[in-house]
């Protein structure tokens, strides 16, 4: 029997009675582990060895875990400091923190775990330590010490340490090799090592040597190092898919600034300047010079719409209107600022109906972070300008758009917007939880919006959430899994948006 040199070496190093791991065989043969693995798979396929696989888990302390194993958990240090400073009584939080020598994020970590572990109460800026608490019995502290010493710990405590990013778990597959009866017989009968080559060279072709050499067989099932290269983010993949769909539906793309004048962001939309959404609590105002490049005649018409209304029955808002506020710069809270720029003719010149435009761009809102809200997210903006449009045209557009993504259960709910009438919100059913989640807002632009812009026909418009479209497509229940510092990297690496 003739076998490649690596296989012969592995057979000679293997045993019929004792299992030998890949690492042990690599050391015995002086071959690379990946070379041994390839040889083992080939020998297994030929029935000369048997291979067993087991999965082992290694637990490693993070840098933060090592620090806490040496210095103590922040909540334990806070508790001991509270006892020392207050002699068992309530004490000011600042005084305790100073005595504990905690700093930076450790303070928040200590405070969040102090009450959870029963070390005491936190009330009105004071800490009241529980004198009966026993920090020496802290399971997490004991587990950190055990791991630092190389000992095993309870699985539930390990889960808690992992949730606090104090440990990382690594799984690895251990392969053990033993000679089969056929392998023993082959060794007894004698095996000749065949010199093999792993590539065909030009010199072999010209000399004819290729006819006499034995080429190495490639095992495509052999283990290989995992290579994680860069890839396009799933949100960008989805945005590109949305753009393809809308272009296919006859739309052209809009572009414009992320930081814009409040005039384009809100005033053109007939949003009163005292509207709650325009306060510093809900917008990101920028401390930069105001925008000068706004047509004066357009400012006059928008101001008139706000103060006096539009048409014979117009009444406007009975509230002040400031040109200085209108020219002030803020991060756009919606991409409808682009629609206003285009519909007014300021961006690409006067438009004649019919027209279809869209954008898929980032917007910024001072929202509370939760599974469906972020401070910045992507909005799918779109509008159609044409004669005699109706709500049925708008609904039909949504049904066609979402059908491209396999979403057919779209529901509509009447809504109020200062800038559209009629208006309605869109809802889709989450594929995992079954609950309805809001996915967008839409309506027909009011005369108070269109008339100052010089538009004399109907315009239907919408703003849809790209991240929530992703939730409906793939069943994510938390936007933060795909966006921001808490995102799930494995999910991002493995998910592909179908084109």
Instruction: Please determine whether the domains at 2-60+171-215 and 74-132 fall in the same fold group of CATH.
Output: yes
Place of tokens 């582990």: 33
User: Hey, which residues does 438 pair with through a beta bridge?
Assistant: 427
Q: What parts of the chain have a pLDDT lower than 50?
A: none
Q: Tell me if 294 is assigned to a ligand binding site.
A: no
Q: What is the pLDDT of residues 171-186, one digit of tens each?
A: 888 999 999 999 888 8
DSSP symbols for 233-283: -HHHHHHHHHHHHHHHTT-EE----SEEEHHHHTGGGT--TT-GGGSTTTS
Beta-strand relationship, 49-61 and 167-179? antiparallel
Q: What is the pLDDT of residue 90?
A: 83
Q: Tell me if 317 is assigned to a ligand binding site.
A: no
| Residues 6+ away with beta carbon under 8 Å from 369 | 375, 480
| Homologous superfamily assigned to 235-494 | Bira Bifunctional Protein; Domain 2 (3.30.930.10)
Global pTM value = 0.60
Q: What is the pLDDT of residue 192?
A: 78
3-state DSSP of 2-44: EEEHHHHHHHHHCCCCCCEEHHHHHHHHCCCHHHHHHHHHHHH
**For domain 74-132, which architecture applies?**
Orthogonal Bundle (1.10)
Going from N- to C-terminal start, the domains of the chain cover: 2-60+171-215, 74-132, 235-494
| Topology (CATH) of 2-60+171-215 | Arc Repressor Mutant, subunit A (1.10.10)
Please report the sign of the dihedral spanned by the C-alpha atoms of residue 383, residue 384, residue 388, residue 393.
negative
Q: Tell me if 439 is assigned to a ligand binding site.
A: no
Q: Tell me if 419 is assigned to a ligand binding site.
A: yes
Beta-strand relationship, 355-364 and 252-253? parallel
Q: Tell me if 445 is assigned to a ligand binding site.
A: yes
Q: For residue 171, what are its two tokens?
A: 């799984």
Q: What is the pLDDT of residues 89-128, one digit of tens each?
A: 788 888 888 888 888 788 888 888 888 888 888 887 788 8
| Cα separations in angstroms, 168 against 64, 159, 261, 370 | 11, 10, 47, 26
The torsion defined by the Cα of 103, 107, 108 and 110, in degrees rounded to 10, comes to: 140
Spatial distance between the Cα atoms of 23 and 273, rounded to a whole number of angstroms: 71
Q: Tell me if 95 is assigned to a ligand binding site.
A: no
Q: What is the pLDDT of residue 196?
A: 74
Peptide bond into 422 cis (omega under 30): yes
Spatial distance between the Cα atoms of 140 and 117, rounded to a whole number of angstroms: 10
Phi first, then psi: what are they for 443, rounded to 5°?
165, -175
Contact, 186 vs 1, CB < 8 A? Answer: yes
Q: Tell me if 421 is assigned to a ligand binding site.
A: yes
């Amino acid at each position: 029997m003739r076998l490649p040199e690596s296989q012969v070496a592995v057979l000679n190093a293997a045993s019929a009675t004792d299992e030998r791991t890949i690492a042990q065989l690599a050391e015995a043969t002086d071959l690379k582990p990946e070379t041994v693995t390839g040889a083992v798979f080939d020998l297994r396929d030929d029935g000369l060895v048997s291979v067993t696989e087991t999965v082992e888990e290694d637990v490693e302390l993070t840098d933060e875990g090592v620090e806490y194993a040496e210095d103590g958990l922040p909540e334990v240090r806070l508790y001991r400091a509270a006892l020392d400073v207050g002699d068992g009584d309530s004490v000011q939080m600042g005084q305790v923190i100073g005595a504990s020598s905690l700093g930076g994020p450790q303070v928040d970590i200590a405070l969040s775990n102090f009450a959870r572990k029963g070390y005491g109460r936190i009330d009105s800026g004071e800490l009241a330590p529980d004198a009966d608490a026993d920090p020496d019995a802290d399971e997490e502290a004991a587990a950190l010490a055990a791991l630092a010493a190389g000992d095993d710990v309870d699985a539930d405590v390990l889960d808690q340490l992992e949730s606090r990013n104090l440990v990382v778990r690594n799984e690895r597959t251990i392969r053990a090799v033993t000679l089969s009866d056929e392998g023993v017989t082959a060794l007894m009968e004698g095996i000749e090592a065949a010199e093999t080559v792993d590539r065909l060279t030009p010199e072999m072709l010209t000399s004819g040597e290729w006819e006499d050499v034995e080429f190495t067989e490639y095992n495509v099932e052999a283990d290989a190092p995992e290579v994680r290269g860069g890839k396009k983010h799933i949100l960008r993949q989805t945005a590109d898919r949305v753009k393809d769909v809308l272009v296919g539906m006859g739309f052209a793309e809009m572009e414009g600034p992320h930081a814009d004048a409040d005039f384009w962001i809100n005033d053109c939309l007939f949003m009163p300047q005292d509207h709650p959404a325009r306060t510093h609590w809900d917008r990101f105002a920028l401390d930069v010079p105001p925008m000068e490049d706004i047509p004066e005649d357009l400012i006059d018409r928008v101001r008139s719409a706000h103060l006096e209304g539009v048409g014979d029955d117009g009444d406007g808002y009975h509230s002040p209107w400031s040109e200085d506020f209108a020219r002030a710069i803020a991060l756009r809270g919606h991409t409808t600022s682009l629609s206003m720029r285009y519909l007014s003719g300021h961006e690409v010149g006067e438009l004649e109906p019919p027209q279809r435009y869209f954008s898929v761009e980032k917007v910024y809102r001072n929202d509370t972070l939760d599974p469906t809200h972020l401070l910045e997210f992507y909005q799918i903006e779109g509008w159609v300008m044409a004669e005699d449009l109706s709500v049925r045209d708008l609904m039909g557009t949504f049904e066609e758009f979402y059908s491209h993504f396999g979403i057919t259960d779209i529901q509509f709910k009447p809504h109020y917007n200062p800038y559209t009438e009629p208006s309605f919100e869109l809802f889709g059913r989450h594929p995992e939880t079954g609950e309805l989640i809001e996915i967008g807002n839409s309506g027909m632009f009011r005369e108070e919006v269109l008339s100052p812009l010089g538009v004399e026909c109907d315009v239907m418009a919408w703003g849809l959430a790209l991240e929530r479209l992703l939730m409906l497509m793939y069943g994510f229940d938390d936007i933060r899994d795909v966006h921001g510092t808490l995102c799930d990297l494995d999910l991002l690496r493995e998910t592909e948006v179908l084109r």
